[in-house]
Structure 1
Amino acid sequence: MDFPQKERGVRIRGQSSILAVVLLIGMVATISVGIFLVGAEMMANAEHQSEQEKIEQSFVKLSRQMSSAAINDDVTHSMTFESGQSGAITKTNAGSIEIQSSDFSKTIQLGAIEYRGDDGSIVAYQAGGVWRERGNKTRMLSAPPINYDAAKETLWLSVSDISEEQELSSGEVTMVHQETVPLQDFVQNEKVTMTITSDYYRGWESYFRHQAGDAVVRNVDHSNRTVTVELGYLEADSAFDSGVTYSDDYTVDKNADVDGPTSQGNLPPLDTVISDMINDTETGEMTVDEDLGTVDTTLTKGDGTYVADSIEEAGHLRFNLTEGNATLIVDGDINAGGSTITVTDWDGTHSLKVYTTGDLDASNSGDICVDPCDTDVSAELIQVFGTSEMQVDFGPGGNSRFEGVLYAASNEDDWPERNGCESQVCIHSNPDVYGSIVASSVKIHAASAELSYDSSLDTADIPLHPESYTLPPRITYLNIAHHKIDVANG
């Protein structure tokens, strides 16, 4: 049957409306399912995150309670512990801390309380610290009670440990102190080596780097899950055993001409020594042969002790060491230009020591070397000592030469940018450095730079200061306590 044109249009429009409603309902249903699924996943993630945070907070609280139990051995401590659905376990053999100095050795066995999540994450208490580990990343949630105080010359180590193995579920947990093994020892001007063996060794590594700087971490052995740290200073006698000894960072342009060994470690800064020397020259406690003031002309000197306010680019000091040693104390900067400090004559047994409170800038053909300054004679002849705040620039501009040893021990890690270099010692383009450098950080910034180690320094005896002065101490006291604590649901 044929419908009139108008009626057919009405029917078609009616069918379109019904189809639109069906499509709309389908879209709403699809979106609703999607929202439901996404919402369910978000809720599950939120619940998991909430549970993880509760467990982490519970472990941090546990570490504090363990510390309290270690101190108050006549009180039972309790808390509400959250270990999730999986529960936690206590371990009595989960690692060790080996502590050594030249005449002392002690190994402390470490226990742990550990929670393992379904996603592979681990939250663990060990030796007073709390760690969160997932894959190859470990994050410290609470620091272990290890404190190295350089000013007091003391290393404190208080280990709160687990007395037995068992499972811990959520609920009330009690902690009862069982015993403490104390150990106090006296070590004279020592460095102390600690080797931590633990599943959470990455966390221990991060902790020590944060607390005491990169230089204290001497070795990380991933296969044996150990980290070895050294606290205190290196032996001063080893200061010039390498071409570069740095505590923070050493960077070399891949095309630079570098020859000689390097090493990383802390050496004592000379701030106090240099300050005391300056003070003694002013009070008359140290005999001074001549006050040179601001050196801005050419002067020739022999053996003896000299003081100066600064050395400017126009200043040139020439030393004849055939009769004895010379000491130059500069209470200011050394701005090297041309042959600024040179040894013109020597007999092989004497040396020139330069102590300065300021910076060394040899950026424009500034030479500190043994005449004629074009042959590697002996880096032992010229010895330059600076404070922990000393900044050194060799180059850019010209062909500056440094022949000697440079000692500016420092633990600073933040230096101002100078010609694209942000290190304590910057070796820019064209300089020639022969000898040895001790600093916080050294950057060989250009391919045209040269750095060569004088191997005779390995056996040289170079005192860092006059005998009447003393270096800051390393570690004098070890204060160690190993606490055993019963932890149980209860």
Structure 2
Amino acid sequence: MGPRRNGGAVRPSDRGQAALLGLVLLIGMVAAVSVGLLLVGGNMMDNAEQQSKNERIEQSFIELSQQMSTVSADQDASRAITFDVAGSGAVTRTASGNIVIKRSSTEIENLTMGSIEYEGDDGSIVAYQAGAVWRETGNQTRMISQPSFSYNSDDQTLWLPVTKITGDKELSSGEVTIGYKNTSNSGPPEPFVENDTVTLEITSKYHRGWKLYFEDEVEDAAVTEYNTSENYVKVELGRTDIDAAFDTGVTVSGTIEDNGDHIDDDEINIVEGMTQIGGLIGSLVEQADSSDDWNDSVSAINGGYTYTKGTYLVDEIDVDNTATFDLRNGNATVVVDGNTSVDGTLEVKNWSTGSGPDRALKIYTTGDVDVRGDMCVSPCEPNVDVNAAQLQLYGTPQTSVRIGQSNRGSSSGSGSWNSRVVAAASPGNSEDNPGNSGNEGSTGSSGNEGSTGSSGNESSTGSSGNEGSTGSSGNGGAYYEGVIYAPSDEDFSDTSCGYQVCIDSNADFDGSIVSSSLWTQHGGGNIEFEYDEKLEGFEPNIYPEGPVFPPDITYLNVAVHELEVKNT
């Protein structure tokens, strides 16, 4: 049927309108798809072009790094490369970071690191620093090429070649020459650093990359501190060895004032430059804070409890009656981020294995130690069956120690408190420690089953250290049996005696002390000081079980290469 006429006008049919509308829509869709394809294709081409540009720049920086390393190693006059930074400039920064090298906490070198940086249109940065090439995008750093630093785990050698850069402030694309100017050997006078610790404190905007590098090149435990807000990473290598530290009764690096001649002259040794362990104790505190393997159910060591094997981080040791460490199932380690006060008795029991190495309690403290009661090893009898190696106290350079001036009342050690077992592996589980968790007896000082004598325990086996009786100071005052290691170069004029270690009147001491200074009470003082001869040749391992420590180091080699980099 054809179109109808109405007053001379012709109107298309509905079918014709639909066809026309469809054609318009089709054209619109094709146009939209075409524009989308052009946009996507354009973006893909832009991305591909940017990627190609980035790769060319990265390769230029890798070539620059390799040639700089070659010039440094061969000490050649100069080398030239074709440097491609896509028409943009690369900034040369002569002081973009630094490395502080310390040996046993003493700074031996502070080295400046130069860098060459390129910043792309997308804000990403490609940079050379100390032999490494980094790409940094936002808060992420990727290592494109490794630094010249190296660590050989076989011979435990660390090589640290550091580059200082001079020359043009801005490098452009084209030929770039690398000229050798000078090499100086830095670091310790002798590269042999066995039985010592080496610390690298790196401050750099590429600290993220340095952290990842040392974790991969050395091991995770080598990186002991990391602070993004300060652009800072700390790397530690080496282990402290204190063999033969306890071969005499007293070893000091400073002054000893033995009023009343309580200590035999042949038991006194004065040594300079003893190894301090503040860094080790600080590392233990940090690891304990971030580890799930430490006992976090105990915040303090207190009297009235029996503690078993394992590792503990506590805020304090505060014992006013009796605290027992039962080692029948293994060693115990206590890290005290605070002070230690013993007015009652802290006793180590069941330390003997019968064969093989005996077990021990190791205490690491960041604070001060005040012993006015008994801190000893079973059987806890002064000058009788002494076993000082089973109680080891380690302090930081700021730790002071006072032994004596007992203020214990008649209730101390009465055994009338409620005793419970604390186990590091399973807190509150007395099954690991049978016979030591009850308090059925009424007069025993440990709160355990027996009821006669001073031990209050099931048996008294003397020198075996198993269920031995609890003794008391022969002078009726304080008693310390064990070793104390806290070398320092600090000033202790503000302590009660003006020295790092103070031994007051009415005190007994069996064992060995290593500190900066020591003082004993004026006059007679009623002080009994005895060196435990079993300690001669004793080689303590000051690293406790459980925590992870930095790898060892034997040799440290540091070289600073000064190079001139400029456009030809």
So what's the TM-score if we normalise by structure 2?
0.50
**Distance in 1 separating the partners of 2:428 and 2:538:** 40
Which residue in 1 is equivalent to 2:31? Answer: 29
Indicate the residue corresponding to 1:216 in structure 2.
222
The CA distance in 1 between the partners of 2:64 and 2:350, in whole Å, is 69
> 2:425 matched to 1:394?
yes
Alpha-carbon distance in structure 2 between the residues aligned to 1:254 and 1:376: 16
User: What are the residue-to-residue correspondences of 1:106-185 with 2, within 5 Å?
Assistant: 106-183=109-186, 185=190
What is the CA distance between 1:214 and its match in structure 2? 3.5
Kept in 1: contact 2:3–2:11 (CA 8 A)? no
Report 1:391-430 matches (<5 A).
394-395=425-426, 399-401=430-432
**Alignment partner, residue 297 of structure 2:** 256
**Aligned pair 1:61/2:66, yes or no?**
no
| Rg larger in structure | 2
Q: C-alpha root-mean-square deviation of aligned residues, in Å?
A: 4.6
Asked if residue 350 in structure 1 is aligned to residue 352 in structure 2, the reply is no
> Aligned in 2, Cα 1:327/1:142: closer, same or farther, shift over 3 Å?
farther
**In structure 2, do the counterparts of structure 1 residues 344 and 101 end up closer, same or farther at CA, with 3 Å as the change threshold?**
closer
- Structure 1 residues 258 and 470: alpha-carbon distance in aligned structure 2, compared to 1, 3 A threshold: closer
**Structure 1 residue identity aligned to 2:52:** S
- The one-letter code sitting in structure 2 at the alignment partner of 1:38 is V
- Give the secondary-structure state (helix, strand or coil) at the position aligned to 2:430: coil
Task: Report the secondary structure of 1:328's partner residue.
Answer: coil
SS at match of 2:239: coil
Q: What residue number does 1:86 align with?
A: 88
Distance verdict in 2 for CA 1:222–1:329, change over 3 Å: same
Structure 1 position 193, deviation (Å): 1.3
1:479 aligns with 2:557: yes
- Equivalent residues of 1:91, 1:164 under 8 A apart: no
Mapped partners of 2:62, 2:103: distance in 1: 32
Task: After TM superposition, give the deviation of residue 457 of structure 1 in Å.
Answer: 7.9
For each residue in 1:123-155, what CA deviation from the matched residue of structure 2 results, as whole angstroms up to 9, or x when unmatched? 110011111112222222222122233442422
Give the structure with the larger strand fraction.
1
Q: Does the CA contact (< 8 Å) of 1:94 and 1:112 recur in 2?
A: yes
Aligned partners of 2:420 and 2:428 also within 8 Å: no
Deviation per residue, 1:345-387 (Å, 9 max, x gap) = 454731687xxxxxxxxxxxxxxxxxx9x9699x9xxxxxxxx
Q: Could you say which residue in structure 2 is the equivalent of 1:17?
A: 19
Instruction: State how far apart, in whole Å, the 2-side matches of 1:259 and 1:210 are.
Output: 37
- Does the CA contact (< 8 Å) of 2:168 and 2:565 recur in 1? no
Query: What residue is the counterpart of 1:225 in the other structure?
Result: 231
Distance in 1 separating the partners of 2:184 and 2:222: 27
Question: What is the distance in 2 between the residues matched to 1:396 and 1:224?
Answer: 39
Sort the Cα spacing of 1:175 and 1:122 in 2 relative to 1 into closer, same or farther, 3 A: same
Return 5+ residue gaps in structure 1 as ranges: 264-297, 299-318, 331-342, 354-371, 380-391, 404-454
Equivalent position of 1:96 in the other structure: 98
Residue of structure 1 in register with 2:409 after alignment: none
Pair 1:156–1:43, CA change in 2 (3 A) = same
Q: Label 1:94 to 1:238 Cα distance change in 2 as closer, same or farther (>3 A).
A: closer
In the alignment, is the contact (CA less than 8 A) between 1:245 and 1:262 conserved in 2? yes
Alignment match, 1:3: 4
Q: Structure 1 residues 171, 242: CA separation in 2 closer, same or farther (over 3 Å shift)?
A: closer
Distance 1:147 1:247, change over 3 A: farther
Measured after TM superposition, the shift of residue 159 of structure 1 is 1.7
Question: Structure 2: how far apart are the matches of 1:18 and 1:320?
Answer: 101
Q: How many residue pairs are counted as aligned between the two chains? A: 336
For structure 2, the residue ranges without an aligned partner over 5 or more in a row are 243-275, 302-311, 315-327, 329-348, 358-376, 391-414, 435-481, 487-510, 515-534, 544-550
**Is contact 2:90-2:118 (8 Å) kept?**
yes
2:201 is aligned with 1:198: no
The aligned runs of 1:289-328 (5 Å cut-off) are 328=355
Q: Which residue identity is paired with 2:113?
A: L
Contact 1:110–1:161 (Cα < 8 Å) also in 2: yes
Q: Counterpart of 1:197 in structure 2: which amino acid?
A: T
Judged with a 3 Å threshold, the aligned counterparts in structure 2 of structure 1 residues 475 and 206 are, in CA distance, closer, same or farther, namely same
Task: Output the TM-score relative to the length of structure 1.
Answer: 0.57
Partners of 1:402 and 1:57 lie apart in 2 by 65
Q: Percent identity?
A: 39
Would you say the 8 A contact 1:241–1:458 is kept in 2? Answer: no
Helix, strand or coil at the partner of 2:292: strand
Aligned residue for 2:356, secondary structure, equals strand
- 245-254 vs 71-80, which moves further: 245-254
Question: What's the CA shift for 1:168?
Answer: 1.2
CA distance in 2, matches of 1:147, 1:230: 14
CA distance in 1: counterparts of 2:141 and 2:218, whole angstroms: 18
